[in-house]
Amino acid sequence: MHLSVVSPVYQGEKTVTELMRRLVSAISPLTQDFEIILVDDGSKDHSWKIIQDLAQQESRIKALQFSRNFGQHHALTAGLDICQGDWVVMMDCDLQDRPEEVPRLYAKAKEGFDVVVARRGKRKDGLLKKFCNWAFYKIFNFLTGMQYDPQVGGFRIMSKKVVIALRTMREQHRFINGLIHWMGFRTASVDTEHAARLDGKSTYTFIKLLKFSLEIITSYSEKPLKISALIGFIIALLAFAFGVAIFIKAFFYGTPVSGWSSLIISLYFLSGVMMMVLGVLGIYLGKVLSEVKNRPLYVISHAIGVDTSK
């Protein structure tokens, strides 16, 4: 197999047919030896039925259906686990990343790069999503020490050796883009056009984005623990200095020690800090618990063109 395309599908009944049509049209001039892997991430609409119909029309479609919604990056993982191409394209099904850009990514990769990412120009997203995306990568880069470009999404092409390396990384909390960036393979970028959504709106609500950001940042960085420890140290140092100042004023100058209000405020403040530190520690312990359970990353309910018995 020369080329594989992996696309997670969630609530994509109105886009997946157009995605297939445009992908086949874009890839066919490059090679006829390709496969398109669609992973239905527990959609509640008719996405799986449409995928079944498409697979009957096009033999190069392979498909998986999850038993429930596991998440976009778990769906990508499943597709990468079964793909066979020497080159593998990752892209969403909402058509904001245009299938017509695949030949440009492929051409750049053939220049000797293991990873070629699509760098979006003017994003056709709402202001809230743009802000959340910008804020996430600013915080992510600060906490992880990476220099990840916020204009780069999941749309990319990778060589087979990158995919093989990815398959060895089985942590539960997944951020495929971060894993690829961390591996450090030779990477290039291609400026592409970011299209408006063909249908509906993103299923990533603000709450989901916030939850995902918290999971990813605490999975890929230990800095929150270090920052918590630093805050604790600074507060302890300030409290010690304040205590010394009160002792000196009382012992040498006879100033009476008073101020129950300030004492109560200090107690509440310190209690809040302690709860915050314990909360951060609890998040990391929860992640350790998730990993030691060693559960599968996903559960497949149905498959098309794939032997899932192995």
What pLDDT tens digit does each residue of the chain (310 aa) get? 899 999 999 999 999 999 999 999 999 999 999 999 999 999 999 999 999 999 999 999 999 999 999 999 999 999 999 999 999 999 999 898 999 999 999 999 999 999 999 988 666 666 766 677 777 777 777 776 767 677 788 899 999 999 999 999 999 888 898 889 889 999 999 998 877 766 656 665 666 666 767 777 777 777 777 777 787 778 777 777 877 777 787 777 776 666 665 677 677 777 777 877 787 888 788 878 888 888 999 999 999 998 876 6
C-alpha distances (whole Å) from 78 to each of 38, 43, 250, 304 are: 10, 16, 68, 13
Q: Is 21 helix (H, G, I), strand (E, B) or coil?
A: helix
Q: Is 221 helix (H, G, I), strand (E, B) or coil?
A: coil
Structure tokens at 166: 């990815």
> Looking at the whole model, is its pTM more than 0.95?
no
Evaluate whether 221 touches 142 at the Cβ level (below 8 Å): no
Q: Is 89 helix (H, G, I), strand (E, B) or coil?
A: strand
For tokens 């109105």, what's the residue? 14
pLDDT > 70: percent of the chain:
85
